[in-house]
Structure 1
Amino acid sequence: MSVIVNLQLKAKEGQAPAVLEMFRNLLPGTRAYEGCHWVKAVRNLDDENVIEAVSQWNSKNHYDAYLEWRVDTGALAALAELLDAEPVFRFLPVELEY
């Protein structure tokens, strides 16, 4: 069963453009990672400092392997420097797809 992963981020005031620039550099590698169907970066209409990465994966295990790779490369530590709060990860199993 595939899974939608919703990574919710709260950028420090004025750092949202830097987070999006980091995503511009990182997300092509995310999309190319084994098990990733697609990935999108979105912003909250009511709070420009809230940025989310939404992606679909073959399984949570595929995402976990990807996340471990990102931790090992230092990308998550660099991203954390731009954030005002801990990232929130939501894992949503796909029950129906049309």
Structure 2
Amino acid sequence: MTTIVHLEIQIHPDHLADAAEHLSATLAATRAWPGNEGLEALVDDADPGHVLVVERWATTADHDAYAAWRTTPEGQGRLGEILAAPPVKTVYSERLPLAL
């Protein structure tokens, strides 16, 4: 079952100008990871430093493997250099059956 991950980040005001460059470099590795089905970065209309990265994964296990890799020296990117606070990650893998 597809897993959706929301990664909410707050970019430090001093780094807004180079945020796209940092995000592009970091997210290129995310896109290339096996099981990643796509992602997008959404910018808050009221706060350009508030970004929501929405990732789609084939399975939760695919995302878990990716997240584990990100904790290794090889997987650590430079995104942390531009953040004003630690990112907040939420994983959605269950769905409510809705009668529409």
The structural deviation recorded for 1:94 is 5.5
**Which structure 2 residue ranges, 5 or more long, are not aligned?**
none
Aligned Cα RMSD in Å? Answer: 1.7
**SS of corresponding position for 2:12:** coil
1:1-98 to 2 correspondences below 5 Å: 1-72=1-72, 73=74, 74-75=76-77, 78-93=78-93, 95=95
Amino acid at match of 1:4: I
Question: Are the equivalent residues in 2 in contact too, given 1:9–1:85 (CA < 8 A)?
Answer: yes
| 4+ residue segments displaced more than 3 Å | none
> How far apart, in 2, do the equivalents of 1:50 and 1:38 lie?
20
Q: Relative to total residues, which structure has the larger helix share, 1 or 2?
A: 1
Amino acid at match of 2:39: V
> Identity of aligned pairs, percent?
27
